[in-house]
């Protein structure tokens, strides 16, 4: 029986509004879809196959955004392509840089929907945190993003477009496997990826394509709050690393902070992790655990976490995340001493439990803080804007 409440998946997210100019965005299409799209627009099959190969190369290896840049396609054909197609990117509404080098972009889709992505640079890697939905339906109580309503799923093109846009900003065209700043992707931005499964799968297929962006599946991590029925499909059809937002080890606490637990409980979730295709000691499952003062951070919680991981024989790493505060939250971050004691118990059991260093807190880019600027407006601010608009009407 479905459990009421807006943590339960929205049956029909808002549909994507077609482009006003009627053009088709080619970003995010598979090679076959690109060829079929060109053929449907009027190119004969052999020419569609050739043009698809050329356009694919220019989009994903050269970073082209205009057909006029494609020098191996006849100039006479550029207007025909431009009239029918577009090589899209999300619109950048705002770009911020944290004092620690973290970058956050507020992006807007062609139909006016806002979402965010974050780039986190480190000495040995650069990780892009990618969104899969506009808003979220899970309502995790510690998460700022979870306070947003789900508007719609992002398309495969909008998901791939985030990676393309980041590489634009980092100056990483032409594409090359060595010397990249953007080395890793985590599907940990706004939304629950497994509630937008088809688009996430199709987007990551393009990102992993050896002739495309060519990012190894070992460098991509998909995070889920525990959509158990989709986890096996994710392993079989996508095959990237798995991260699970666990955050609690008892039913009452996880029911409160991750309400999806009322539908798919801890035991069911951990069994799905044990069954996840490809999980082994070389490709461990990451368990995300946000540290909330006096809520989930006791020694008993740590020992129960160890017991559960051992019981299900899980090849696991536990990421301990100091809670990142946001206005209006009811939670506090555990003290550094408490986090250290929690971590030590897990380490002593032979399980890796590093404490994640918060990044981008000063620009609300840290874990659990993503929420679009439009959603962050206070009621008083919205009332003032409405009054000002009425006064000028």
Catalytic residues: 116, 367
CB 88 within 8 A of CB 157: yes
| DSSP string covering 330-378 | S--BPPHHHHHHHHHHHHHTT-B-PBPPP-SGGGT-STT----HHHH--
Q: How far apart are CA 327 and CA 47, in angstroms?
A: 56
Q: Are strands 133-134 and 152-153 parallel, antiparallel or unpaired?
A: antiparallel
Range 166-191 burial, b when 16+ CB lie within 10 A, else e = bbeebebeebeeeebebbbbbbbbbb
CB 203 within 8 A of CB 195: no
Q: How far apart are CA 14 and CA 307, in angstroms?
A: 42
Provide the token pair at 238. 């996508």
Instruction: Tell me the helices (H) and strands (E) count for the chain, helix number first.
Output: 12, 13
Q: Are strands 126-129 and 184-187 parallel, antiparallel or unpaired?
A: parallel
CB 323 within 8 A of CB 333: yes
CB 118 within 8 A of CB 145: no
3-state SS assignment for residue 275? coil
Provide the token pair at 123. 């000495």
């Amino acid at each position: 029986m479905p459990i009421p409440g807006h943590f339960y998946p929205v049956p029909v997210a808002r549909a994507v509004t077609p482009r006003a100019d009627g053009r088709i965005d080619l970003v995010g299409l598979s090679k076959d879809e690109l060829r079929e799209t060109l053929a449907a627009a009027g190119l004969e099959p052999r020419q569609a196959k050739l043009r698809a190969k050329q356009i694919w190369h220019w989009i994903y290896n050269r970073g082209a955004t205009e057909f006029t840049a494609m020098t191996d396609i006849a100039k006479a054909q550029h207007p025909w392509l431009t009239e029918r197609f577009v090589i899209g990117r999300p619109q950048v509404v705002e770009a911020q840089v944290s004092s620690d080098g973290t970058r956050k972009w507020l992006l807007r889709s062609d139909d006016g929907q806002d979402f965010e992505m974050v780039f986190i640079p480190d000495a040995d890697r650069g990780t892009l945190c990618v969104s899969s939905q506009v808003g979220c339906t899970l309502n995790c109580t510690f998460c700022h993003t979870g306070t947003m309503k789900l508007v719609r799923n992002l398309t495969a093109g909008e998901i791939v477009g985030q990676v393309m846009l980041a590489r634009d900003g980092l100056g990483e065209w032409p594409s090359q496997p060595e010397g990249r700043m953007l080395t890793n992707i985590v599907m940990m931005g706004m939304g629950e990826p497994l509630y937008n499964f088809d688009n996430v799968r199709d987007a990551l297929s393009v990102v992993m394509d050896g002739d495309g962006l060519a990012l190894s599946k070992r460098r991509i991590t998909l995070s889920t709050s525990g959509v158990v029925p989709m986890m096996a499909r994710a392993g079989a059809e996508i095959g990237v690393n798995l991260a699970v937002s666990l955050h609690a080890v008892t039913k009452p606490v996880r029911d409160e902070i991750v309400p999806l637990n009322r539908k798919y409980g801890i035991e069911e979730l951990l069994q799905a992790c044990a069954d996840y295709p490809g999980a082994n000691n070389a490709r461990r499952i990451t368990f995300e655990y946000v540290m909330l003062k006096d809520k989930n951070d006791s020694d008993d919680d740590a020992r129960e976490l160890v017991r559960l991981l051992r019981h299900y024989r899980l090849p696991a790493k536990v990421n301990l995340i100091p809670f990142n505060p946001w206005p209006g939250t009811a939670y506090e971050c555990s003290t550094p001493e408490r986090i250290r004691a929690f971590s030590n118990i897990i380490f002593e059991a032979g399980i890796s439990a590093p404490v994640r260093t918060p990044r981008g807190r000063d620009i609300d880019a840290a874990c659990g803080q993503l929420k679009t600027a439009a959603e962050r407006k206070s009621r008083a601010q919205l009332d003032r804007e409405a009054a000002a608009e009425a006064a000028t009407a």
